[in-house]
Structures are given as structure tokens and as C-alpha cells.
Structure 1
């Protein structure tokens, strides 16, 4: 990969629910010291859930609850935060962070809004807040919001579904109760709009989570918050997190019920200048895939790299090393 002639900036991107996979990043554990220390710090601060989370993370075949938010989200947070911390320890300092859903909390931890140890308590509080939320799910749709409204109707709330994430101009996620999502999926499929269920058992980023968001905000009040040391593009608001917002618990809690505005948050970073290298701090390459569809990445000045392999069959160590070194070379 050739170095970029003009000054380049690194952007660290943290994925959210649906990106989880067994043993994500586990090959780095015990090998990459900073990554290992961060994971141990998180598990140690997770109370009685810590041992079970660690066991599920390291298992070749995790338990049946692996895709539930009680397992998937704490582990995605921990792996993302540990990867981000390891990247900083290598001397690569990104100019901005972007986090998708729970990935925004990982971004906040790496940026210094709260510690990784506090992150264990934050994720325990988030899990507790979700306990009373009605069951449901999420549906990834290969279409923009306008096309979805053409098929389902302009008032999506009347159909019992909500826009949960705007991942790109061509990819949207819907959220809602299981029965309503199935009706929406059937209608979209009949209209030749491809869709697939997200690996989630809760209707995140929909009005069904408003009560959980309020409960989470109260619990988050026990954690000391600070302004981020590295700028964060919020996927809750689509703009930079202000120092004042960063210290308000309800700001971080509210994102549970709001749509993830990933594309509105990241699109300004795809402007022609300065050139940027996007590093995805998580598995599966879900955010990376959306970024790679943009012309500014396909044939323009930007590059997209993943810090973990797309499947657990490939060892994580070489992928992490190659991505960090490539980013350092591009941004030299």
C-alpha cells in the first residue's frame, strides 16, 4: 500500500450489535499486552458477570445467549475499547473516533470520557436497564429510508417499526417487535428489496427502548464522566460530541432509543481532503463494508482497514499488525 502524498489522518471506527462473532480478537489475548490488560480490566470490573463473559468470549462454541445484548454488547464494547487502546499504544493517534451504537461507548472509553474499568460498570448498567424492554429484533434492509417508506408507508410508526440505523445511502436497519418486523420483512421481500435479520434479540434504537434509556441514564449518573481527549463524531446526533454533552449521563443513555446516524456522522469525513485511513476496531467488517462502497474510498483518497479478520478462522495477530503498520505508513 503506497503512502499518501498529502498529510493523512486516521479515523478509528467501532462497530455495534450484529458485528459480534465467537472469539473475536481472542488470538490477541495473552499476546498483545495492552489489549490483554484492557480486557482483564473490563472483566474484573464486570462483577459477577465477568467470568461468564470471559468464558463466552474465549469459547469455540459460545452459549445460546451469545447474540443477546447481555453478552454481545459488553463483549463488543470490551474488544473495541481494547483494540483502540492497543492502537494508541502503538503511537498511532487518530484524529477522530466514530462508534456505531454500543461502539460509541467504546469510543468514549478510549477517548477518556470514562475508564475501561468504569466501562465494565457502564455495560452492566446498560444490560440491567434493558431487562424490562419488550422482546423484538432488528432487520437490515438493502435500501435507503425513502425506498422503505415507498413499500411500507410514509408513517413507519403506524406499521410498528422504526428506523434504527442509517448505515449508508443504500443500507438501513429497522427495529421493532418481532411480529411487526416479520410483516415488514414480508412486504419488503415481495417488493424485491433484500433484507436480513440482524443478530439481535432486542428492538434497539426504537421507541420501545425509551424506558430503558431513562433507566440507563439514572444508573450512568454514578460514573464520573469527562470531555473526550480525542474528538468523537456521534452517531446519535450526526455531529461532534461537545465537552458539555460528554459529561451528561442522559446524552449517552439516549442513544439506546434514537436511530444510529452512522452515515450522517461519517459522510463529512469522506470529503476529498484531508485523505483519511479508517480503521475498524471490531470483527466482521460491517462498518468497513459500508465505507468501502463510497466512491471516495473505491477510487478516491481514502483507505479502509480492519483490525480483526472477517472470520474467526483467520488468526487475529497478523491482521492487527498489518493494519496498524499500514495505517502508520499511510499517515507518516
Structure 2
């Protein structure tokens, strides 16, 4: 979660501190949990994981941009799409803090559930899914790659799907999450979340955003519609279709601005990248070790790709 950069990288630190300050007392508690080896609130809980994923992604992007890197497009996975919206000036950081607080409040009323990452194509998993739109059933939560699909749902329906996947010898693993994101179980939460945008000024993006909700560029009318951003909470993340659409018109240097290297791993599988039409640069390590080393190596690689970067 990039804690090794806090206090060492001025732009990153300032962006994190500004976000925490806009959250008030909760921001103070969140920063303490983020920096602690024994957080008061578990880091897998949505009230911590989601705002911090947003904040770290936004702060990393701001730091890289301050060094002269200018993104030509943004693509965010799940809450990363809200970080992309903040980087693209759809809302300012004060507005982002209000939006993320509303998201956490909406999630607080969600029944326990979780996510399963399954090594299978989306159409192969149809027998394991509940009826379309059923908030009590399991649904596709993300299409991350052709054979990397995430399922989500409330307990105990998710446990039953785990049993069936095990019985069918379909490889899967639990994703660290205590809530069932991006499925019909969150329809009510998405409506509560939309109400939390009240009073937050929204603007068309200053940088094109390839949405993982639609797998298309966010249109100006969508960008200023709270329901568009809030609906993402209950809809599947179309990461691979969005990446595919982005890479259809040329090669890019893809920079992963977030914890871990999960999206970098997926992006490297794309045929365009494998053919050499793009480079993939993660800003942070795959685990907690070597944060500063990977960060500086990434900056060196970025400078080699973009002479304006420093």
C-alpha cells in the first residue's frame, strides 16, 4: 500500500495528506491504520481498503505527473475508476473525499459476502451463477482476462459456489474482501452511493477515461451523471474489454498506479503487448518488499520512454 513512500516522496505524501485532511477525524484514523502494523480496522474491510486504494492510486498518479509524465488516457479497475476520475479533474480532491465517504457509508449496510477469482472464461461459469439480477445470488463481478473471471455474491450463496467449483475441479481462490462488490447484491448500496454525490461539482474529463463499466470512453454526459459513477459499484468490471478497446488504436506505455502488480500481469497477456506494441510499468512491487527500489526503477523506465519525465 505504498507506505514506504510516505514521508519520502513529497508529492505523493502531500496528496495522501490532503485526502486524509478532507476526511476529517476519519482521515486521521485511516492514516493511522494505513501506517500501522496492527490496524484498528482490518485493511480488507471496505471502509479501509477502498478509500486507501483510491488515495494511493491518485497520489501515485499525481507524483508521476509532477515529474513531467502526461497521460493520454486513464483506465481504472473498480475503485481505481474513481481515482482516474479525480486525476482527470471530474471532481476535485475535496469532492473525492465526499464521494469516497458516501461509498463507504453505502457499503456499511451491505450483508457479508466476498469475491472469487476463477481460472475460467465468463461463459463457462454460467452454471454457477444465480438468476440475472438476483441480489441473493452469485454473479460475474469482473472480466479481467479471457480466462480470469471474478465472481461475487453474499454468503452463503458464495460458499455454495465454492463447493461446486471444488467439486468440478475448477481452479479458484478467494479474493481478500469482506463484501461482495460489483454484483446485484449491491444494487441498493449503489442507489445510496449516488445520493452521496449531491453537492459535488462534476466536470467532463480533462484526460480521456476508458471506462471499465462500459468498455468505452467516458462521454461528457456520463461524467457529470452521479448514477454513472455510482452504478459501477453494482455492475461488473470489464477490465479486459476496456483494455482491448484502448489498445485497438495503437501501442501505449501502460503504467500501473496502485498496490501490487495484478493489473500489470494481466496487461502483459494482451496480444498487443506480447507483440511489442506496448510496455507495462508497475510503480509498486508485487508484495510489501522492495517498494522504494521498484518505485525508482519504474521512474527510470518512465524517463527512458518519455524524455520529458524527470
- Report the TM-score when normalising by structure 2: 0.94
Correspondences of 1:13-28 after superposition (within 5 Å)? 24-28=1-5
| 1:5 counterpart residue number | none
How many positions carry a matched residue from both structures?
A: 306
Moved more, 57-66 or 303-312: 57-66
Give the distance between the partners of 1:281 and 1:153, measured in 2 at CA.
32
Give the distance between the partners of 1:270 and 1:154, measured in 2 at CA.
33
SS at match of 1:98: coil
Correspondences of 1:290-329 after superposition (within 5 Å)? 290-314=266-290, 316-329=291-304
Q: How far does residue 324 in structure 1 lie from its aligned partner after superposition?
A: 2.7
- Report the TM-score when normalising by structure 1: 0.88
Q: 1:221-249 CA deviation, whole Å, 9 max, x = no partner?
A: 22111111110011111111011111111
Q: How far does residue 157 in structure 1 lie from its aligned partner after superposition?
A: 6.0
2:10 is the counterpart of 1:33: yes
Q: How far does residue 312 in structure 1 lie from its aligned partner after superposition?
A: 1.2
| 2:109 counterpart residue number | 132
Give the distance between the partners of 1:208 and 1:98, measured in 2 at CA.
25
Unaligned runs of at least 5 residues, structure 1 = 1-23
RMSD: 1.7
Q: 1:255-308 CA deviation, whole Å, 9 max, x = no partner?
A: 01111111111112233x632111111112111111112232234321111111
| 1:285 counterpart residue number | 261
Give the distance between the partners of 2:266 and 2:193, measured in 1 at CA.
29
Going from structure 1 to structure 2, the CA distance change for 1:127 and 1:27 (only over 3 Å counts) comes to same
| 2:173 counterpart residue number | 196
Unaligned runs of at least 5 residues, structure 2 = none
| 1:160 counterpart residue number | 137
Higher relative contact order (CA 8 A, sep 6+): 1
Correspondences of 1:173-184 after superposition (within 5 Å)? 173-184=150-161
SS at match of 2:75: strand
Going from structure 1 to structure 2, the CA distance change for 1:101 and 1:153 (only over 3 Å counts) comes to closer
Kept after mapping to 2: 8 A contact 1:148/1:188: no
